[in-house]
Structure 1
Amino acid sequence: MANQESSESKLVAENGDEIPAEYLEKDGLSEAIDIPDTWKDSLLLDLSLLSSSTPASEPEHVKLRSALSEWGCFQIKNHGIESSFQEELIEVSKQFFALASEEKLKYSASDVFLGYGSDNYGKDGQSNWNYRITLVISPDGKRDLQLWPQKPEKFRGMIDEYSKKLLAMTEVIYKAMAKSLNLEQDCFLNHPATQGAIVGRFGYYPRCPCPERVLGVKPHTDGSTMTIVLGDDQVEGLQIKKDDQWYKVPVNPGVLFVNLGDIGEVMTNGVFKAAVHRVVTNSSKGRISVTGFCIPEKKTHIEPLSELVSLHRPQMFKKLNTDEYWKIYYENYPYGKVRKTIDVFRF
């Protein structure tokens, strides 16, 4: 196993217990609570059932509709990605972040949201306590392989394989979403919101001497249609907000986490919600996560699916231009303005 202690970032090595002001939450963090029974029951879905059209699958589609309507997220099992593959992908990610800084910096990019780096916004924005490498992983033609690490040797091959697994999984989930709403099964797959790329973000959250005041990622919604997260099965970190209360997402080995993003909320005319979430830090252990964001094409116009607009549920969002959306998103994200972006497009 990679020596994760050796990869402790400059965040710890240079600052010790003195944390720069741009990382500190002035009022501390509001408490998150455990709801293990909910995650074991209504928020744990079986992909093998969601991919089925038999009567036995109907309760699972009801659960899916409820989870996305009320929480904007769920955990998923029986998704076809072997635990051994998940463990190896987390391991090679650890090995990458354990490399010398000179090697990792080879994969930096001028685009602050691509390549290797950290979510450091300086004094003008609230910085996140993390390092990450962000890559377009699907489709093949949109990849910038100059940003794909050559070390560890297995990394590129595993990213390629994982992208194919994610692509197959998202197709099943989009079809299941349609079925849960009694819509034609390919209606979401044919929607402009799903005609784009999958962006992979490999994140490392170093141990932090002050987890009660420092976040790995500040509260936000994703600028995606859908997001799939493979998390470290040893360390909790992800938390969800619902009705002004934060809830811990439990570690569940072999299980993936799925949440809807802003674009998914617009696509479904607000029937399904984008999940507000954050990542907390840990005082004794670092944490790895692998996230896949389903992102629509640039210069695409997104509006709610016509079948979800009616007299009883009028159109809730204006037609959204993805370039305009991302401009507003980037302006607000460093300042933790959670719903500012999507609210611009709301009627």
Structure 2
Amino acid sequence: MNKSKRKPTKIIDTTLREGEQTPGVYFDLSVKKQITRGLADIGVDEIEIGIANKANTDLGALAEFIRTTYPHQSFSLWARCMEADIDHGASLRPSCLSLSIPASDLHLNKKLGKDRTWALKQLKRSIQQALSAGVPKVALGLEDASRADISFLRELAQAAEEAGAFRLRLADTVGICTPSTIVQLLEVMSGLKLELAVHCHNDFGMATANTITALENGAIWGDTTLLGLGERAGNSRLEEVIAFFVLQKKTGHYNLAGLSELSRMVARESGQEIPPFRPIIGNALFFCETGIHLQGIFADPTTYEPFSPETIGASRTLLIGRQAGRRSILATLSRLGLTAPDEPELARLTQQIRSLAISRRRPLGDHEILELLNSQA
């Protein structure tokens, strides 16, 4: 594959569709607008705002909100390959209608009671219906693609291209792919004009890795959700995917400044907790206590940090505890405006600080170090 001619990587955020399928999670219209506003400010390429169904009464208001407030923001609706759903979705005038149909025999036979012949006819009919209804762009998602027969998967893709779809989304519906198998899945589609997308679930903890690998190996679009919200173990995490491309690959136009704040708002509204050491958005990511690491950070932060905390709106906190070394203690004393002790006294102080931290089972605060010094005065 000639990567030099590839289109730029693009992100579809589906927090408002897939994320809201997390058990117990419901976003009212005001929260959906807040999430939309945050995603637009970050620069997400496409926001999937929900499922095209008349029972979803927020869709019309949310679509109008985007058109009015963010007229250049692309947004899509997910729809089954059913005539009523397609008509309803088209009436809401999305930038794209993302149709979905099962690709595996398991889903076709057991879930729908249908066969491969039906799937091929239905996807063609559905794409043509959406285009005839005036939808600017139509995409097709192949559900359970990672368990589908490879030759049939290719046949479905070719049919979608011939019918006029511009994008093909391959769904790892039960999260069984690895980075190597996601690449193999993409290779099946080699030579097609369709823009390829992936929708990765996190059942074995590889959704983000699979999405990034796909975007490095032929896929143009990657699905994400804030916090990785979604069914079962969730999906690939927006914060991790875009941060990797911006901070590590030095590509992408995304604005990371509001990412942590948006993530925390979604966590509150969805009843989730963000672990302190969660990648990109954890509030303790840049806490450091290990002596040898502190020594490196004092010399040059890049020795132990892949990016500076300022790039994601965080700050560095250097902790003095059971692993503290002499250099970190000297730096702390200097920061507190205290004179450095002689070598024997520094050795004693280092041991006292370590012992106290062990007994208290945590690093020491500045006031505790000052109390320790005052007790020896």
Q: TM-score, normalised on structure 2? A: 0.22
Give the number of the structure whose alpha-carbon radius of gyration is greater. 2
Q: Which has the higher helix share?
A: 2
**Structure 1 or 2: more strand by fraction:** 1
Greater relative CO, 1 or 2 (CA 8 Å, sep 6+): 1
